[in-house]
Amino acid sequence: MARTTTRPRAATTTRQKTTTRRKTATGRKTATRSKTATGPSARAKQATEIATWEDDPGDPSQPSPATITAPVPNLSAQPLPSRIAGTAPPASLYPTGSAPFRYYAAAAALRRTADFWGSVVDGPISWQIGKVLPVVLDDGVDLNAFYTRGGFGDGPGLHFFHEAVSGRTFFSGESPDVVCHEMGHAVLDALRPQLFDAQTIEAAAFHESFGDMSAILSALQVETFRQEVLSETGGVLNRSSRLSRLAEQLGAAIRIQHPDAVDSDCLRNAANSFFYRDPQTLPPSAPANQLSSEPHSFSRVFTAAFLDVLAAMFKSASPNGTADDLAATASDAARLLVRSIAAAPVVPDYFSQVAAHMVDAGEQAPFNGKYREVLKAAFVRRGVISLHGATAVTAPKPRTRRPVAAFAQVEPSAELPMATISASQFGLAEMTLKVFTPEEPKQFAVTSSSLQLGPVEPRSPQNAAEAFTEDLFQRGRVDLADHGHPQAGFMHPFTKKTHVIVRESGSLVLRRRTFDCGFD
């Protein structure tokens, strides 16, 4: 989450600005600006431009990153309109650290993310929760941000917070990385609403991964940022860089209170060495340098694979690529991703199905196999697809392909089937609990890699739902409401609740409340 106590830097009021960068003693880049014009014309320009961060505001112990100017964002525009609660400040080039700057930093990130995803989806897309996505920039004291459909005490939309840590106040809604991540949850809910309540570790982890992929791809829509990334990485995008390091400032805030909960230089780094593991064999929580079945932790496997995909696509398409080439590659990668999401069935081994359908989407127009080998190589390298699975996806055989027109938004009313599991071990007053199970039919008989030999044996939907439910209760993420056993029940009173027990048609049902940052 973003801080507000950075060294204030007054924004320039110039007709033309140039940004030069210098290396500091710490190796971090900062920005200085030169004025070339002032006067009435410059003041008039303030009505059409705002100042915002080029990237995440960064670790407060390091020099501040650059700010950039951008057109005043029109949040009500299509596609995917949003609305920030309260009154918008007059458009101007506000200094960092001010409330109006935070407003426009969030607004610019929201509009950029909406425009990007709206441009790569085949067909119309609309929010799952209504015509406009509500946004609350400061919903109270917390190191948190979340997306919710509403109900259970929360209004629908995106919620951001603030908290003082070691004398500094951090605002999550100021960070483009955090805003684009949370908006990614809303975008994925529009694309594949069945994932919201799916009781499986990989479905929840993919939601978090999509949020991080949204942050990465949205950042690449900023031309100056693309240029900086190419300079920093030498064109090898899956190196650790400003692109791969997500939410540096939120990570810094959490690190003060929970030193092993996040990476050493950010919240999560997409450039990592994690290899797929069956999440049901992992502990429900672990330090940041290890994998666990907690969705944010496990998401890093798919996010790293996607960064590898992006890097390989860029290198194969344009070995000496420019910033414009990188923008085109980001668009191609996102198109493959959204097509795979629309086509992939919600099953326990969801990562492998998304990857397989991403490879399959690459066989169709307009890609026509252009990225076949780099896609398969990246997913095999991370174990997201087994070696057998990679050969099976593109092996010549007759099968019915879904036409491109079918990659459209899934019906919002569609829900996964429900199954009944035992509830007594969860401290509920009743014996059974209904959950949404991941059991849609597969097109590809593909799973991820085993650590022994060959592919992982797929889990049953019932088994996957029971394992994820147990994880949620172990981490204290379920609100029992008034359905807990008076003696045997346990409430975990100081943890944030992502799920809630409700009564529907006479039965207890487990429903998701939010996708949030997940730190207590």
Give the integer Cα–Cα distance in Å for 348 and 369: 28
**Pairing, β 67-71 against β 82-84:** unpaired
Give the integer Cα–Cα distance in Å for 418 and 435: 5
Give the integer Cα–Cα distance in Å for 445 and 447: 7
**Tens-digit pLDDT string for the chain (520 aa):** 433 333 333 333 333 333 433 333 333 333 433 333 334 444 444 469 999 999 999 988 888 788 999 999 999 999 999 999 999 999 999 999 999 999 999 999 999 999 999 999 999 999 999 999 999 999 999 999 999 999 888 899 999 999 999 999 999 999 999 999 999 999 999 999 999 999 999 999 999 999 999 999 999 999 999 999 999 999 999 999 999 999 999 999 999 999 999 999 999 999 999 999 999 999 999 999 999 999 999 999 999 999 999 999 999 987 789 999 999 999 999 999 999 999 999 999 999 999 999 999 999 999 999 999 999 999 999 999 999 989 888 877 555 444 443 444 444 447 899 999 998 889 898 999 999 999 999 999 999 999 988 899 999 999 999 999 999 999 999 999 889 887 666 777 888 999 999 999 999 999 999 999 866 5
User: For residue 172, what is the DSSP state?
Assistant: G
Output the DSSP codes for 66-114.
-EEEEEPP-TTSSSS-EEESSPPPPP--PPTTSHHHHHHHHHHHHHHHH
Q: Do the beta carbons of residue 330 and residue 310 sit within 8 Å?
A: yes
Give the integer Cα–Cα distance in Å for 441 and 330: 30
- Other CB atoms within 10 A of residue 397 CB: 6
Output the DSSP codes for 141-152.
BSS-EEEE-SBT
% helix / strand / coil in the chain, to the nearest 5?
35, 15, 45
Q: Where are the domains of the chain?
A: 2-406, 418-516
Give the integer Cα–Cα distance in Å for 41 and 509: 61
Which of 291, 295, 119 lies closest to 198, judged by CA? 295
HEC sequence for 410-475? CCCCCCCCEEEEECHHHCECCCEEEEECCCCCCCCCCCCECCCCCECCCCCHHHHHHHHHHHHHHC
pTM, two decimals, is: 0.89
Alpha helices, H only, 84-243: 99-120, 176-191, 201-219, 223-233
